[in-house]
Structure 1
């Protein structure tokens, strides 16, 4: 399966009421971050395991990603595609 990532400005993700990010890394609202198919958020898609900013897959976060960010893995990349 090909991993899927979609870039967003950090300002968009900071609209989520429960958003918490690591302190001391100096990110701005204009920083591009990547939401990956498991709904975690990383700084760099190539180094994703080293740069995780968010990995709390809760129902509220899933709803926010779907309704506010319009995040959806393309059908041809979904695990259930066949």
Structure 2
């Protein structure tokens, strides 16, 4: 059996806008992914949790510092059809 490769380090960097004196939350954390796709999926879920209906932006960088995923949300997500 071939051993799976060790998880690669990625950096998730987010700016989340909020209504407070400081105005923004700057968040930076490491995400370990067994593949780039797995790291992007984890980053999307984490960013959605951090946003909690607010606006903000995020970028996921690989170990070399290249952006492998980025997004921006301008306000709460639109409600789908009822």
- Normalised by the length of structure 1, the TM-score is 0.26
Q: Which has the higher Rg, Structure 1 or Structure 2?
A: 2
Higher strand share: 2
- Normalised by the length of structure 2, the TM-score is 0.26
